[in-house]
Amino acid sequence: MNRLKNKIVFISGASSGIGMACAHAFAPEGAKLILAARRKERLDQLAVELKEKFNTEAEILSFDIQNYKEIKESFASLPEEWKDIDILINSAGLAKGMQKLNEGSPEDWDVMIDTNVKGLLYLTREVLPYMVKRESGHIINLGSTAGHDVYPLGNVYCATKFAVNAISQSLRIDLLDKSIKVSSVDPGMVETEFSVIRFFGDVERAKNVYKGVEPLTPQDVADAILYCATRPKHVNINEIILTPIAQAQSNFVVRKAT
Q: Active-site residue 157, yes or no?
A: yes
Figure out which of the listed residues 23, 94, 224, 226 binds ligand NAP, where binding follows CB under 6 A.
Answer: 94
173 contact partners, CB below 8 Å, separation of at least 6: none
Minimal distance, residue 89 CB to ligand NAP, in Å: 10
194 binds ligand NAP (CB under 6 A): yes
240 binds ligand NAP (CB under 6 A): no
Nearest C-alpha neighbor of 242 from the set 172, 195, 189: 189
Residues 124-143 that bind ligand NAP (CB under 6 A): 142
Residues 4-63 that bind ligand NAP (CB under 6 A): 13, 15-19, 37-39
Q: What is the DSSP letter of 215?
A: P
Q: What is the DSSP letter of 87?
A: E
Burial call 227-250: b when 16+ CB within 10 Å, e when fewer: ebbeeeeeebbebbbbbbebbeeb
Rounded to whole angstroms, the Cα distance separating 120 from 107 reads 19
- Draw the binding track, 202-221, toward ligand NAP (x: CB under 6 A; -: no contact): ----------------x---
Residues 95 and 198: beta-carbon distance below 8 Å: yes
The active-site residue, picked from 122, 130, 151, 157, is: 157
Which positions lie near ligand NAP, rule CB under 6 A? 13, 15-19, 37-39, 64-66, 91-94, 115, 142, 144, 187, 189-190, 192-194, 197, 218
Active site residues: 157
